[in-house]
């Protein structure tokens, strides 16, 4: 292909998708393409899709139109979870030329010819049972942080979730390859690595193509802690039943792992947890939070929660609200339930009206803001280490402490991708924290 061809990418969804987009982009670079921003004119636009929520599905058409507006003659390819679940639906979208499923997306350049537009969207999508091999990925788009994929797929059967249908069975990267990728990332000067996957606590299953665990998530953490050059390691999200005491205690004394956990809850009602087919009850969640806070009182704990699941009566919603209100957590990610095809939950009784779902979502988002504020206030006066980001946002530079407190300071390009010891001093009107540099540096204000 002509070396002057340009490719642009748009990623919907999770950190895992971002890591995979970066890997696909490197494949294009190896084939002689130059990467440009999605807002610029390109010869091919690649959209990495998500299908966790109905909203993500709807956004796809908008993104295709955005690409066509910039270059009506561009070749448009769709990959990712939505492309695996509903390939024909995507192929029917005006302007889409190629749709690739779960295994085909990593070989996208093999499916390209002269990049001429197709009359109809061409589909190459395997049966999901065939998605049983592992492709490692990591993102390096952000100078200060990289997403490192260590695991893919899921063997859980949560009644609301399409991820097993979109990504297949649980399988893991080899420990050797994870460590190699981590070393490559650190050599690029990136200070922080975020471990990502569909169900990373299940790491080790399928590591060499078999179902048994060759290594555990705990052993992965131990090995990564020894990789030279890495300043920070962050666990993106881990199921409460897979977050073991040994991992919590290890993070508490780790050289590089930071005191920040994101643990899906989904509901504070045991009745709903059973309907969701989650693998724990709320009592285990309480135990996990208590264990973390006992080992690391300053730890940040984020929570995923779903509102409006079938059978969520007012009483059960308030059970969730009060449970979260009393729990020593730091913030919430609130998801409004949306019916997904081919899931048991879509056929359940007790459907919650959309108006009620939105009202409950708003209540939990308000609780999240209160929880985050309280957590930030508890950290005032403490000494923390901040890693500054690379973007100038309205004259300010932002950064995150090891325990995920977001701070701000007047823009200074010399601070980008650097670590500094600071003392947290006050919360400003934006809900961000101001600070003083330690070692007699000027106050950030």
In a domain, 69, yes or no: yes
**Mean pLDDT along residues 107-135:** 75
Residue 1 scores a pLDDT above 50: no
Choosing from 106, 126, 146, the residue where a domain stops is 126
For 184-200, what is each residue's pLDDT tens digit?
A: 999 999 999 999 999 99
Instruction: Report how far residue 309's alpha carbon sits from residue 320's, in angstroms, rounded to the nearest whole number.
Output: 12
- Assess whether 273 and 180 both reside in one domain: no
In a domain, 363, yes or no: yes
- Assess whether 369 and 419 both reside in one domain: no
- Assess whether 354 and 307 both reside in one domain: yes
For 200-229, what is each residue's pLDDT tens digit?
A: 999 999 887 767 778 999 999 999 999 999
In a domain, 369, yes or no: yes
In a domain, 168, yes or no: yes
- Assess whether 19 and 97 both reside in one domain: yes
- Assess whether 335 and 440 both reside in one domain: no
Amino acid 443: pLDDT: 41
Residue ranges making up the domain that contains 191: 134-258
We report the CATH number of the domain holding residue 242 as 3.30.750.210
- Assess whether 297 and 199 both reside in one domain: no
- Assess whether 177 and 90 both reside in one domain: no
- Assess whether 83 and 102 both reside in one domain: yes
Domain tally for the chain? 4
Pick the closest to residue 123 from 111, 106, 109, 110 (CA basis).
111
Choosing from 76, 99, 126, the residue where a domain stops is 126
We report the CATH number of the domain holding residue 78 as 3.40.50.12160
- Assess whether 11 and 104 both reside in one domain: yes
In a domain, 237, yes or no: yes
Pick the closest to residue 193 from 213, 206, 179, 173 (CA basis).
179
Residue 160 pLDDT class (50, 70, 90 cuts) = very high
Checking 395-403 for CB contacts under 8 A at 24+ apart, the result is: 398/432, 402/232, 402/258, 402/259, 402/260, 403/258, 403/259, 403/260, 403/298, 403/299, 403/300, 403/379
- Assess whether 290 and 357 both reside in one domain: yes
**Mean pLDDT along residues 138-156:** 85
For 38-71, what is each residue's pLDDT tens digit?
A: 999 999 999 999 876 666 667 888 999 999 999 9
Choosing from 90, 110, 126, the residue where a domain stops is 126
DSSP 178-202: HHHHHHHHHHTT--EEEEE-SSGGG
Q: Which of 86-100, 181-195, 318-332, 383-397 has the highest mean pLDDT?
A: 318-332
- Assess whether 305 and 207 both reside in one domain: no
CB atoms within 10 A of CB 117: 11
In a domain, 18, yes or no: yes
In a domain, 1, yes or no: no
- Assess whether 218 and 181 both reside in one domain: yes
For the four alpha carbons of 389, 393, 395 and 396, in that order, the dihedral sign comes to: negative
In a domain, 327, yes or no: yes
**Mean pLDDT along residues 261-275:** 98
């Amino acid at each position: 292909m002509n070396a002057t061809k340009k490719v642009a990418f748009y990623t919907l969804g999770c950190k895992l998708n971002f890591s995979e987009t970066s890997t696909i982009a490197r494949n294009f670079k190896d084939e002689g393409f130059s990467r440009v921003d999605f807002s610029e004119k390109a010869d091919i636009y690649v959209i990495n899709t998500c299908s966790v929520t109905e909203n993500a599905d709807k956004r796809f058409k908008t993104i295709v139109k955005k690409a066509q507006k910039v270059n009506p003659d561009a070749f448009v390819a769709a990959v990712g979870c939505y492309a695996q679940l509903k390939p024909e639906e995507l192929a029917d979208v005006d302007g889409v030329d190629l749709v690739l499923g779960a295994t085909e997306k990593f070989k996208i350049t093999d499916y390209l010819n002269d990049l001429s537009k197709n009359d109809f969207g061409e589909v190459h999508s395997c049966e999901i049972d065939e998605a049983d091999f592992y492709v490692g990925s990591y993102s390096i788009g952000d100078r200060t942080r990289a997403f490192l994929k260590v695991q893919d797929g899921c063997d859980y059967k949560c009644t609301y979730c399409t991820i097993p249908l979109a990504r297949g069975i649980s399988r893991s990267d080899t420990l050797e390859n994870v460590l190699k990728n981590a070393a490559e990332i650190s050599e690029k000067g990136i200070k922080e690595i975020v471990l990502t996957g569909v169900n990373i606590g299940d790491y080790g299953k399928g590591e060499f193509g078999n179902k048994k665990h060759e290594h555990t998530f705990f052993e992965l953490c131990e090995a990564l802690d020894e990789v030279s050059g890495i300043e920070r390691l962050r666990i993106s999200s881990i199921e409460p039943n897979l977050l073991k005491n040994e991992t919590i205690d290890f993070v508490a004394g780790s050289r590089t792992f930071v005191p920040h956990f994101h643990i899906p809850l989904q509901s504070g009602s045991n009745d709903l947890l059973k309907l969701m087919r989650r693998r724990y009850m709320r009592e285990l969640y309480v135990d996990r939070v208590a264990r973390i806070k006992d080992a690391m009182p300053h730890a940040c704990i984020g929570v995923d929660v779903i509102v409006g699941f079938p059978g969520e009566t007012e009483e059960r919603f308030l059970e969730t609200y009060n449970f979260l209100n009393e729990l020593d957590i730091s913030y919430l990610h609130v998801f409004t339930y949306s019916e997904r095809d081919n899931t048991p939950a879509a056929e359940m009784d007790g459907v919650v009206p959309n108006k009620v779902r939105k009202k409950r979502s708003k209540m939990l988002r308000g609780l999240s803001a209160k929880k985050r504020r309280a957590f930030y206030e508890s950290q005032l006066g403490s000494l923390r280490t901040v890693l500054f980001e690379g973007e100038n946002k309205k004259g300010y530079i932002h950064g995150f402490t090891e325990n995920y407190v977001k701070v701000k300071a007047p823009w200074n390009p010399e601070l980008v991708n650097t670590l500094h010891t600071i003392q947290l001093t006050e919360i400003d009107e934006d809900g961000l924290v101001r600070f003083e540099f330690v070692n007699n540096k000027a106050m950030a204000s």
